[in-house]
């Protein structure tokens, strides 16, 4: 699945296809690689020791997709500021700007930061609601999501803006 999504992006860029922002984001949830990491963490913690438990990781996408979204959107927001991609890489932020008429990039940045904040709220809600995952796995998900502003806000004095303060698990 991961390599298939890399191929989708390669085809887009090779053909000059400009995906819709939501299409890019959906594909980007996988290309960011967080899902692969979380699946490995799930099994390394011993949470997938039966076939029934192993199916949990496939059937509960909200937690996994929330962490992936936090990483992907944070990455795209930061790379839009820092990297000279010379048109060789896409970003959710870039496609969002093409589709919507924002008065300024600052307003678009605020819109994307709100998306990150809303995703944090969804992740917290999912982790606080009854679910079949172990506390260790949930802690790992939250802690992984906490890395996003550290990884992608390294050059940004306001990197704390990329997360909701006081994520509930420690």
Structure tokens at 74: 């944070």
Put simply, whether the predicted model's pTM sits higher than 0.75 gets the answer: yes
Lowest-confidence range among 38-42, 70-74, 83-87? 83-87
For residue 163, the model assigns a pLDDT of 47
What pLDDT is stored for residue 106 in this prediction?
Answer: 86
Angstrom CA distances, 105 to 38, 41, 100, 114, stand at 33, 37, 11, 14
The residue assigned the tokens 């995906």 is 19
Q: Say how far apart CA 83 and CA 141 lie, in whole Å.
A: 27
pLDDT the model gives residue 135: 94
Pick 53 or 68 by higher pLDDT.
68
What is the per-residue pLDDT across 112-163, written as a single tens digit (0 to 9) for each? 999 999 999 999 999 999 988 999 999 999 999 999 888 876 555 554 444 4
Calculate ∠ Cα 158-41-35, nearest 5°: 65
For residue 165, pLDDT beyond 50: no
Tell me: the pLDDT tens digits for 94-106? 888 888 888 888 8
Q: Please check whether residue 60 is in contact with residue 133, taking contact to mean a CB–CB distance below 8 angstroms.
A: yes
pLDDT tens-digit readout, 2-29: 889 889 989 998 998 989 989 998 898 8
Give the residue extent of every domain in the chain.
2-162
- Determine the Cα–Cα distance for residues 25 and 23; give it in Å rounded to an integer: 5
- Contact between 79 and 89 under an 8 Å Cβ cutoff? The reply is yes
CA atoms within 13 A on the CB side of 151: 14
Q: What's the CATH architecture for 2-162?
A: Orthogonal Bundle (1.10)
Instruction: Provide the 3-class DSSP secondary structure of residue 48.
Output: coil
Radius of gyration of the chain (CA): 17
Asked if the model's pLDDT at residue 166 lies above 50, the reply is no
């Amino acid at each position: 699945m991961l390599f298939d999504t890399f191929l989708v992006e390669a085809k887009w860029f090779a053909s000059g296809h400009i995906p819709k922002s939501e299409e890019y984001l959906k594909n980007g949830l996988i290309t960011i690689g967080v899902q692969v990491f979380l699946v490995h963490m799930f099994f390394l913690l011993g949470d997938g020791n039966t076939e029934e438990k192993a199916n949990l990781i496939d059937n509960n996408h909200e937690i996994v997709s929330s962490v992936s979204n936090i990483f992907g959107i944070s990455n795209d927001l930061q790379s839009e500021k820092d990297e000279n991609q010379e048109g060789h890489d896409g970003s959710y932020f870039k496609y969002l700007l093409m589709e919507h008429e924002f008065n300024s990039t600052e307003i678009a940045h605020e819109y994307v930061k709100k998306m990150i904040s809303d995703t944090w709220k969804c992740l917290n809600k999912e982790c606080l609601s009854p679910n079949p995952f172990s506390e260790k796995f949930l802690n790992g998900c939250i802690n992984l999501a906490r890395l996003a502003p550290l990884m992608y806000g390294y050059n940004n004095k306001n990197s704390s803006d990329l997360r909701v303060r006081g994520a509930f698990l420690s």
